[in-house]
Amino acid sequence: MPIWVKLPQLPLCLWGLKSLNKIGSAIGNPLMTDECTTQKLRVSYARILVEVDTTQKLVEEITISDRTGGKIKQIVEYEWKPEFCEKCQKAGHQCGKKKVVKKWIPRNKQADEVKADPLPKTPVQNTETEGEDKPEGWITVGKAARHTGKAIEVIGKLKEISSRLLKLRPTIAILIETRVKNKNAKKIRDKLKLPHNYLDNYKWHDNGRLWIEWDNSKIDLDRRKVLWKDLEAIHKHQQGPWCVIGDFNNVTKAQDRIGGKAVTESEYIDLLNMMETTGLAEMDTTGEFYTWTNKQVIGTIYSRIDRVLGNLDWFQDNLDTVLTVLPANVSDHSLLCVSRKDPIIKNNKNFRFSNCLIEMEGYNDMVKASWSKPTRGSPMVRLWNKLKRLQQDMRRFSKPLSNLKQNLIKAREDLQFAQENLRNNNMNGDSIDRVRQLTEEVINLNELEEKDAYAESKSGLDKER
């Protein structure tokens, strides 16, 4: 028989079609999910239609194993359970079940005289049979029937209220004329399945009649907007490098949180707008990705809410630093550690690009290999890192040309000395080969010097133009 099954407080990471199908298979034969579960419009519980064997005992709890090997105990609730008589082997009744006891009570007497509950103000269910004689002025009331009717009415109201609140998702909701006694308040609120905060007036009246419910996450968002505006105001008067470090209590994209409620654009759009206005970008990290966790076995949540934001000037001044997210240890927040990669080696010598480099063999391959190496950070930071890396590669590539004039002078002196040795032994093969090599070296160095001088003069003319 198909029965709708509820899975209360099921972690959102298990709301996929494949996961729900596996969970339903542990209960019976899964058939379908409802619209609220498919579109995650209601996150307090998942609801699936499962075909179960009514002749067997229904599953009340299942154990779910996650990818890390952890186990979660999941409660299974049925919207209704069909009766099955083991004696008759038929559905729809149970032999030996106690019948409703009828009691005759006068209208004008207290119900406690016959050990029954007081009559409610609303019309009660009449259990009298047609044609049955009864004294005038008396009514027949089944106690179990009255309780069942009232319970169904209350449950119907709770479902309707819960459904409307979940659909509207108000930041603040005020419920008046609740008429719920203080001792029953928690039970009724749990049935509403709204995991928010409450205020009431039970301190002044036992029946309360006033509940105020609000969503802390939305209230906090409004408070954070004030902080973002303050940072934008600081930016207007701030010059030079600056950075902001700490717990922003805010994600920047959907991937920054797993578990709990799904990330919506309204959560991070204000933070991203502030970062764009102030020119701040997030510093890339090594180590752990998520910086906060609620450390709960059931309903586990991981978020990336701690970060370092800096402007371009700050990143340029701190190219040798790295941000490491360390383990949380006893805290629920991870430790952010900004440290230098290597000791800073100052080099006061300015970089000078020789135009003749482009004529050297392997120049294009060197540039392509250096530029294609991946780097991390914002687009501007990545561009800056690639330029700095290419500068160092060019220094090493152009090292033979760093002292072009000195090398040319030395090559000429060596050629002159080799030619003098050749005069003393004109037929010596080694001396002839040495002179030929030094001659080619002098010619090549002269060509490089001429190309560099021509490129510089052309560059100077272009600047003048």
Instruction: Please report where in the chains the tokens 């509403």 appear, as a residue.
Output: 192
Mean pLDDT computed over 412-416: 82
Cβ-proximal residues to 105 (8 Å cutoff; 6+ apart), any chain = 111, 113, 114, 116, 138, 139, 141
| Per-residue 3-state assignment (H helix, E strand, C coil) for 252-264 | CCHHHEECCCCCC
For residue 249, the one-letter residue type is: N
Beta bridge partners of 84: 91
* Least trusted range by pLDDT, from 10-14, 147-151, 180-184: 147-151
* Least trusted range by pLDDT, from 171-175, 284-288, 405-409: 405-409
Query: How far is residue 228's CA from residue 232's CA, in Å, rounded to a whole number?
Result: 6
Give which of 332, 260, 338, 262 is closest to 291, Cα–Cα: 332
Across the beta sheet with 321-326, what order do the strands follow? 285-287, 321-326, 335-340
| Measured torsion, CA atoms of residues 101, 102, 108, 114, in degrees rounded to the nearest 10 | -30
Instruction: Please report where in the chains the tokens 């690639």 appear, as a residue.
Output: 386
Q: How far is CA 380 from CA 235, 284, 311, 356, in A?
A: 19, 13, 10, 29
Instruction: Please report where in the chains the tokens 């991981």 appear, as a residue.
Output: 302
Model pLDDT, residue 124: 39
Query: How far is residue 412's CA from residue 407's CA, in Å, rounded to a whole number?
Result: 9
Number of alpha carbons in the 13 Å side-chain half-sphere of residue 192: 22
Report the SS3 class of residue 141. Answer: strand
Q: Which structure tokens are listed for 244?
A: 């902001």
Query: How far is residue 377's CA from residue 309's CA, in Å, rounded to a whole number?
Result: 11
Looking at the predicted structure, is the pLDDT value of residue 304 above 90?
A: yes
Query: How far is residue 426's CA from residue 174's CA, in Å, rounded to a whole number?
Result: 112
Model pLDDT, residue 49: 92
Strands (E) located in 119-217:
138-142, 172-176, 197-200, 210-214
Q: Which structure tokens are listed for 441?
A: 């070296």
Query: How far is residue 416's CA from residue 401's CA, in Å, rounded to a whole number?
Result: 22
Mean pLDDT computed over 408-437: 79
Model pLDDT, residue 281: 92
Q: Which structure tokens are listed for 316?
A: 């340029």
Query: How far is residue 222's CA from residue 232's CA, in Å, rounded to a whole number?
Result: 16
Q: What are phi and psi of 50, to 5 degrees?
A: -125, 135
pTM above 0.85, yes or no: no
Query: How far is residue 223's CA from residue 233's CA, in Å, rounded to a whole number?
Result: 16
Report the SS3 class of residue 327. Answer: coil
For residue 230, the one-letter residue type is: D
Instruction: Please report where in the chains the tokens 């950075």 appear, as a residue.
Output: 243
Contact 308, 243 (CB under 8 A): yes
Residue 244 pLDDT class (50, 70, 90 cuts): very high
For 369-396, the pLDDT digits (tens) are 888 888 777 788 888 888 888 888 887 7
DSSP state of 118: P
Burial (CB count within 10 angstroms: exposed 0-12, middle 13-18, buried 19+), residue 270: middle
DSSP state of 126: B
Beta bridge partners of 257: 303
Cβ-proximal residues to 198 (8 Å cutoff; 6+ apart), any chain = 189, 211, 212, 213
Contact 293, 301 (CB under 8 A): yes
Beta bridge partners of 246: 307
Looking at the predicted structure, is the pLDDT value of residue 107 above 50?
A: no
Mean pLDDT computed over 301-308: 92
Element (H, E) at 278: helix 265-278
Contact 404, 355 (CB under 8 A): no
Model pLDDT, residue 306: 93
Q: Considering just the CA atoms, what is the radius of gyration of the chain in Å?
A: 41
Residue 110 pLDDT class (50, 70, 90 cuts): very low
Looking at the predicted structure, is the pLDDT value of residue 8 above 80?
A: yes
Largest CA distance in the chain: 153
Q: What are phi and psi of 423, to 5 degrees?
A: -60, -35
Query: How far is residue 256's CA from residue 263's CA, in Å, rounded to a whole number?
Result: 8
Looking at the predicted structure, is the pLDDT value of residue 220 above 90?
A: no
For 181-199, the pLDDT digits (tens) are 888 888 887 777 665 677 7
